[in-house]
A and B are shown apart, each in its own frame.
Chain A
Amino acid sequence: MSFHTRNTIYFYLHGKRIALRDVSPSLTVLNYLRDELHRTGTKEGCAEGDCGACTVVVADLNQQGCIQYRAINACIHFVPLLDGKILFTVESLKTNHGLHPIQQAMLDCHASQCGFCTPGFVMSLFGLYKTADKPTHEQLCHALSGNLCRCTGYRPIIDAGQRMYDYAQALAPEQQSALTHPYSAQETPSAWLSQLHELAAHTESLVIHHQQQAFLAPRSISELSHYLLAYPNAYLLAGGTDIGLWVTKRQQHLNTIIYLGQVAELDQISQTDEYLEIAAAVNLERAYQALVQHFPELQDLHWRFASLPIRNAGTLVGNIANGSPIGDSMPALIVLGARVLLRRGNTQRELALEDFYLAYQQKDLQPSEFVQAVRIPLRTSTQILRVWKISKRFEQDISAVCAAFCMEYQEGKIHTIRIAFGGMAATPKRATHTEQALLQQNWSLATLEKAQAALAQDFKPLSDMRASADYRLHVAQQLLHKFYLQTSGSSFVSELGDLHD
């Protein structure tokens, strides 16, 4: 089999088309900007995507052909992933006419102190500025959930986020185009659109060989399958929100990387009469938006899942395929009866998600096989669903415990029940004894107590820096109690969010 390939990465930066050849495919965007281009406005705070000092914005075309702007963490984003996109950094915003409205608002609100996190905040705000008109306090918090500031306490940054729109409106129309859009009047969304169209003309697959490293970006599922068969030891890369850390934190050398992000077929969310299908390259933000449409109970989990820049890069299938015992998506997907679609060459098979996890970091996945998509059965009218994540901090934290419950009643009894937990065992796992204790029972306090006792049979959690074993088990039992309260007709409010506006 042969494919049309090229060895040059093309993207736009500052109105200029950049053609890159002979770079390490695991070079991060941050190091590229700072070390090669000497654009040092973008900072390294942690090199693991947790502080946001390195936030930049990438633009590409969505399926409707419109420009989408996404804030991402440059510190764990590999340079070849810029292919076909426009990159905006903090240096992109200032014009000859002065500061961008975001920058002016930040300045006037005294929103910087030490200033080190500031470029990252500016860029997260730029991502928001380009996608929302008049954001609410919540939207601002979600957009800035991946940016840490140790100095200001955030209040003036939120003020700036609210004020930035006023600056743009206050300007005369001829200034507006210059100021609200980077660089100059020529650099408008329509100019960017033509840049993106120009880049889209490079339909060949990007294949880079650099010293001992190879980077392959197939354009179709069959090409992807072909590469995976040819390189069974290759690293399969989607958003890189985990693999990026292998490079920055473990100094791991990645020999062969196969990148999913340019397979258009894998960037699809589709729906049949039976299930919602989310393919492997769909980022977490889009995936959760779709999930929440079908299952509004997942709204809190959506907002608490990492941060917006991580959700903009990472994928739902990546979360699943990574298979961490503390991955946030799996408990909910397991109780919803999700199945994974696996593919090796031309062979496909389907597996219940819970059966995919065999043991700690072990999955039912053959060499050269990959997770093509996840299929979530459409909700039934009788389904009662609850999902909770427990962590030290609300935003951008990893679960101590993540719990999901899905239940159906019939004639006053618990007809079906599926319960799954993350953070309680070596894999995301169903609470089978607990389910048994509940099945076909009346939903009463006595049943609850039996089920709580059964939880101790299901799980022997560990103590670590996130929580002690005792707390994990105890809070899991308490979440079962909360599930009982919210599904058995209790009139008491038991959610912080219901009282805290």
Chain B
Amino acid sequence: MTEDHWIVGKSLAQDSAHLHVTGEARYIDDIPVVQGTLYAALGLSEHAHAYLRHIDLSEVSRAEGVFAVVTAADIPSENHLGGALKDEPILAVEKVEYIGQPIFAVAASSVEAARRAVRLAKIDYEILPHNLDIRRAVAAEQFVLPTKRLQRGHAQQAIQEAPHQLSGQFSLGGQEHFYLEGQIAFALPKEDGDFHIHSSTQHPHHVQEIIASMLGRELKDIEIECRRMGGGFGGKESQASLFACIATLLAYKTQRAVKYRVDRDDDILISGKRHCYDIRWQVGFDEHGSILGVVLDYASRCGISADLSGPVNDRTMFHADNAYYLDQVDIISYRCKTNSQSNTAFRGFGGPQGMMAIEYIVEEIARYLKKDALSVRRINFYGQDERNLTPYGMRVEDNIIPELTDTLVQSSSYLERRQLIEAFNQTNPYLKKGIALTPVKFGISFTATHLNQAGALIHIYNDGTVQLNHGGTEMGQGLLTKVAQVVAETLQINPSHIRCTASTTEKVPNASATAASSGSDINGMAAQQAAEVLRARLIEFLAKHFEVSPEQIQFKTGQVFISDKKTLSFAEVAHLAWFNRVSLSATGFYKTPKIHYDPKTMSGRPFFYFAYGAAVAEVLVDVLTGEYKVTQVDILHDVGDSLNPALDIGQIEGGFVQGMGWLTTEELWWNQAGKLMTHAPSTYKIPSIGDLPRKFNVRLVDKKPNREATIYRSKAVGEPPLMLAMSVFFALKHAIESIADYQISSQLNAPATPESILTAIQTLRSFQSTTAA
């Protein structure tokens, strides 16, 4: 801590924690419905690619309890989702492009009636060939967005001239968000054709825009509100809008309130996920493992439309370096169109896939040189004063990864354990241990510069209590609590006197999505500014009123000191100010400084700063079946000066476990017809309580304030820890490779399910026997 704070930096419980544990926290499905409320369901495509020859909804309309049935033809104005591109319809027109694509919607008197009714549709499809394969899409040039390339130097030449070369390919699966609260919206008609919509969304402003364009109305006519989400993780950034549109369209049609709580299976079938990737790579390096040139070819499955695939894939390219200086580098990124859900934001936003490639390469180099991968990592880390320019031309000024790694190596006894593990593996042919240390360097800011802005609105009531509002949304990360701590600190009031109110487009206009880990950075700053305006206003008033100089007035630990003669409570000050006609409401605004970025050349300073971390994971693998346990995890993570250590540790642990799920048990599986078959928790397996590593040591980097002037010198923490889970994947790979005494590398693809692991083991063994013969 650079200075002592009263509230900031304390591990306060989340503002809603007491409501969570009693079940009183109100989610959208818990809001009492109004009289006459109807319930929605969607009719979905049953084919991956087909023309809609004829849609017969007569039985649907006649079904018990049905009040309205709508198709694309019922949309009064624009039938499109998405941002700039407008390339995805709300409801399909003429053609469907994936199994699960919405075709029509129903409003009925109950959830069950609506869900029963949509099953009665008779749709005549003319089936077309479909494709889900990434490389086939590349070959056929089926893209949702143009291919991008980021080059520095002459990578191909550097590889050829390097003492050693390696190349390879591997695949990374996608990931379903599996927010515990499914997608939901509740639309209420207001007067004059306006609508008030409760939407479980990370981006109320986006929902507002899409609904206004759908209805042919203006932004002023549409209010979007969200008090809290039951999890978001990126899945409710752009994609909440579809469900809000359906509820609103049906409300428009019926002039009744309509709630759309999406069935879990439908939710997973309809909505986009983390992009899966096919990655090809070539690398040239010297005998120490120093990377001399690297070529990376990232191809991702984007689904049927662009959605957020542009910035997601850009971030992949920006994180192809992770923590390593790549001097000669050539990165190409293909954004493939496939007959699947339109993939979208997911915690890490393409960064994890970018990093996995370079970490894979580092491991391959280490295996080839018969070195500990840690030494290869260290030799390639960014330097302090030199070797510090990223491929996109941003200087890494805040690099702490070498010392952070050293500290973690010590505290986790990495070297000793690695020796013990390799010795153990000599003695047991059926159970193998593995260990890996992986670093994370993650860029903080939206890469689209204009999104790095935030607004806040603070009211002080004349009893001294405060309502706090800003453009950020609460999805469990504790944003409202952190921002309340900032305001409490600024006004020196007890946080219990602050009410965090629901995010609504009526209070803060044009707010950016709560995404890119930036929530507390930008909203905290905006709220601080608003609070400072109010404090300054109060000081000016008090100085005049009590005839003292402004410097003699101090707000401190819940009280206001007027020189040394008088002490008032904050409530008394508020009341006095009100009585003397002082405005007690203020807005605040913040825009992130220093950043600039040219999307054409992919260069500039897209990030205000970097967040760092590293993890050591140890695993135990059953090589007969491919099953495994993660036995120990040690994490050291950088949050600058923490606004709230308990909440930050929660983000780190939760992010890590979620990342572990992505790389291990969470497998998306499509059948031959192109249907996603893992569309429920019975088939899609996120980590459960037994997957928690038995030894799980999580620490924050000590005494490292952010060198940039962020809110109280803290750092963003939402996304970076997810990528710490790469350590689990490479520990599994390490365990597998013990079978061949670490002489050859294994082809392990993610997710590393027991099957994926056993396949890698088999391939390794057959390779071993052919080389032996």
B557 at the interface (CB under 8 A from A): no
Which residues of chain B come closer than 8 Å to A110, judged between CB atoms? 11, 13-14, 17, 646-647, 649-650
A42 vs B29: C-alpha distance in the bound complex, in angstroms? Answer: 11
A138 to chain B, nearest CB (A): 9
Query: Judging by beta carbons under 8 Å apart, are A394 and B692 in contact?
Result: no
Bound CA–CA A140/B29 (angstroms): 30
A392 and B180 within 8 A (CB): no
Given known A91-B22, A496-B628, contact A157–B476 (CB-CB < 8 A): no
Interface size on B, residues (CB 8 A): 91
| Closest residue of B by beta carbon distance from A47 | B264
Is B680 close to A, CB under 8 A? yes
Contacts of A17 in B (CB 8 A): none
**Is residue A18 contacting chain B, with contact meaning CB distance below 8 A?**
no
Contacts of A45 in B (CB 8 A): 180-182, 264, 681
- Once A41-B24, A107-B17, A122-B21 are accepted as A-B contacts, the answer to whether A153 and B656 lie under 8 Å apart by CB is yes
A494 B430 Cβ-Cβ under 8 A: yes
Q: How far is the CA of A107 from the CA of B17 in the complex (A)?
A: 6
Please pick, from A113, A394, A468, the residue contacting B755 in the complex, using a CB distance under 8 A. A468
The closest CB in chain A to the CB of B263 belongs to A47
Question: What A residues does B753 contact at CB under 8 A?
Answer: 392
Q: In whole angstroms, what is the CA distance A106 to B14 when docked? A: 12
Contact of B627 among A144, A390, A485 (CB under 8 A): A390
Contact A251 B116 (CB under 8 A): yes
* Interface residue ranges of A472-494 to B (CB < 8 Å): 474-475, 478-479, 481-482, 485, 492-494
Q: In the complex, which of the residues A38, A107, A145, A475 contacts B758, with contact meaning CB atoms closer than 8 Å?
A: A475
Contact between chains at B431 and A153 (CB < 8 Å):
no
Contact with A along B558-601 (1 / 0, CB 8 A): 00000000000000000000000000000000000000000000
B691 touches A393 (CB 8 A): yes
Q: Select one of A158, A479, A496 contacting B629, CB under 8 A.
A: A496
List residues of A (386-401) whose CB comes within 8 Å of B's CBs: 388, 390-398, 400
Whether B688 and A148, one on each chain, are in contact in the complex, defined by CB atoms closer than 8 angstroms, is: yes
* B429 contacts the other chain (CB 8 A): yes
B415 within 8 A of A: no
Hey, which chain B residues are within 8 Å of A42, CB to CB? 23
CA distance A44 to B20 in the complex (A): 15
B112: interface (CB < 8 Å): yes
Shortest C-beta distance, B195 to chain A (Å), equals 24
Q: Find chain B residues with CB under 8 A from A397 CB.
A: 685
Cα–Cα, bound, A396→B689 (Å)? 10
Contact A155 B653 (CB under 8 A): yes
Contact A114 B229 (CB under 8 A): yes
The reply on A118 being an interface residue by CB < 8 A is: yes
Contact, CB under 8 Å: B21 / A113: no
Contact status A471-B755, CB under 8 Å: yes
Residues of A142-187 contacting chain B, CB below 8 A: 144-145, 147-158
Q: What's the nearest-Cβ distance from chain A to residue B686, in Å?
A: 6
Query: Is A83 positioned at the interface, with any CB of B under 8 Å from its CB?
Result: no
Please report the C-alpha to C-alpha distance between residue A73 and residue B375 in the assembled complex, in whole angstroms.
50
Considering only residues 231-267 of chain B, those with a C-beta below 8 Å from chain A are: 231-233, 261, 263-265
Residues from chain A with a CB closer than 8 A to the CB of B769 are none
Contacts A112-B20, A158-B689, A494-B624; A107 near B30 (Cβ below 8 A): no
Contact with A along B145-187 (1 / 0, CB 8 A): 0000000000000000000000000000000011111100000
- Expressed in whole angstroms, the Cα–Cα distance for A400 and B665 within the complex equals 13
Q: Is the CB of B680 within 8 A of A46?
A: yes
Does B181 contact A114, Cβ atoms closer than 8 Å? yes
CB-defined contacts of A464 to chain B, threshold 8 Å = 669, 671, 677
Which residues does chain B contribute within 8 Å of A344, judged by CB atoms? none
User: Is B771's CB within 8 Å of the partner chain A?
Assistant: no
Instruction: Determine if A150 and B678 form an interchain contact, defined as CB atoms under 8 angstroms apart.
Output: no
Q: Is the CB of A478 within 8 A of B624?
A: yes
From residue 418 to 462 of chain B, which have CB atoms closer than 8 A to chain A? Answer: 428-431
Decide if B692 touches A40 in the complex (CB within 8 Å): no
* Interface of B, helix, strand, loop or mixed by DSSP: loop
Contact partner of A496 (CB less than 8 A), chosen from B627, B681, B759, is: B627
- Whether, in the assembled complex, B512 has its beta carbon less than 8 Å from a beta carbon of chain A, the answer is no
Q: Which of B19, B228, B431, B667 contacts A392 (CB 8 A)?
A: B667
Task: Check: A71 CB closer than 8 A to any chain B CB.
Answer: no
Interface 1/0s, chain A 98-128, versus B by CB < 8 A? 0100111011101011111111001000000
B754 at the interface (CB under 8 A from A): yes
Query: Which A residues touch B475, using CB under 8 A?
Result: 114
Report yes or no: B685 in contact with A392, Cβ–Cβ below 8 A: yes
**Candidates B24, B232, B677; contact of A465 at CB < 8 Å:** B677
The answer to whether A492 touches B680 (Cβ under 8 A) is no
Task: Decide: A153 and B682 in contact? CB cutoff 8 A.
Answer: no
- Cβ of B478 < 8 Å from any Cβ of A? yes
Select B690's contact among A40, A102, A141, beta carbons within 8 Å: A141
CA gap between A94 and B23 in the complex, in Å: 10
B622, closest chain A residue (CB): A496
Q: How far is the CA of A360 from the CA of B22 in the complex (A)?
A: 45
How far apart are the CA atoms of A386 and B285 in the complex, in Å? 50
A163 to chain B, nearest CB (A): 13
Closest to B428 in A: A492
Contacts of A499 in B (CB 8 A): 431, 620
> Which of chain A's residues has its CB closest to B180's CB?
A116
What residues of chain A lie closer than 8 Å to B21, measured between beta carbons? 99, 102-104, 106-107, 112, 118-119, 122
* A482 in contact with B624 (CB, 8 Å): yes
A60 CB to closest chain B CB, in angstroms? 23
Decide yes or no whether B696 CB sits under 8 A from chain A.
yes
Q: CB within 8 A of B689: which of A90, A119, A144, A151? A: A144
Contacting residue for B29 out of A44, A151, A249, CB 8 A:
A44
Instruction: List residues of chain B with CB within 8 A of the CB of A154.
Output: 657, 687-689, 692
Q: Which residues of A contact B26 (CB under 8 A)?
A: 40
Residues of A within 8 A of B16 (CB): 112, 115
Q: Does B654 belong to the interface (CB within 8 Å)?
A: yes
Residue in contact with B20 in the complex, picked from A46, A115, A145, A155, CB distance below 8 Å: A115
Q: Which B residues touch A91, using CB under 8 A?
A: 22-23
Q: Is B213 an interface residue (CB 8 A)?
A: no
Q: CB of B71 within 8 A of chain A?
A: no
Task: Name the B residues within 8 Å of A492 (CB-CB).
Answer: 428-430
Asked if B625 is at the interface of the complex by the 8 Å CB criterion, the answer is: yes
Complex-state Cα separation, A304 to B245, whole angstroms = 42
B101 adjacent to chain A (CB < 8 Å): no
**A46 contacts B264, CB within 8 Å?**
yes
Query: Is B27 part of the contact surface with A, judged by Cβ < 8 Å?
Result: yes
| Known contacts A43-B230, A90-B22: A153-B690 contact under CB 8 Å | no
CA distance A471 to B431 in the complex (A): 19
Which residues from 292 to 345 on chain A have a C-beta closer than 8 Å to any C-beta of chain B?
none
In angstroms, Cα B673 to Cα A464, docked, is 13
- Bits for B596-638, please: 1 = Cβ < 8 Å to A, else 0: 0000000000000000000000001010111111010000000
- Residues in chain B within 8 A of chain A (CB atoms): 11, 13-14, 16-27, 29-30, 32, 112, 115-116, 119, 177-182, 228-233, 261, 263-265, 428-431, 475-478, 620, 622, 624-629, 631, 646-647, 649-650, 653-658, 665, 667, 669, 671, 677-678, 680-683, 685-692, 694, 696, 753-755, 758-759, 762
Known pairs A114-B228, A388-B625, A393-B691; list 5 more (Cβ under 8 Å). Answer: A108-B13, A112-B17, A114-B231, A140-B689, A492-B429
Provide a sorted-by-A list of 25 A–B residue pairs whose CB atoms are within 8 angstroms.
A40-B26, A41-B22, A43-B181, A43-B230, A89-B23, A117-B230, A118-B21, A122-B23, A141-B689, A147-B689, A148-B686, A149-B689, A151-B231, A152-B653, A154-B688, A157-B689, A158-B692, A249-B265, A390-B754, A391-B685, A395-B688, A397-B685, A465-B667, A471-B759, A494-B624
The 10 closest A-B pairs by CB, nearest first: A41-B23, A114-B476, A116-B230, A115-B20, A153-B657, A113-B476, A90-B23, A50-B681, A153-B653, A112-B20
Q: Which residues of A contact B (CB under 8 A)?
A: 34, 38-48, 50-51, 53, 89-91, 93-94, 99, 102-104, 106-108, 110, 112-119, 122, 137, 140-141, 144-145, 147-158, 249, 251, 388, 390-398, 400, 464-468, 471, 474-475, 478-479, 481-482, 485, 492-496, 499-501
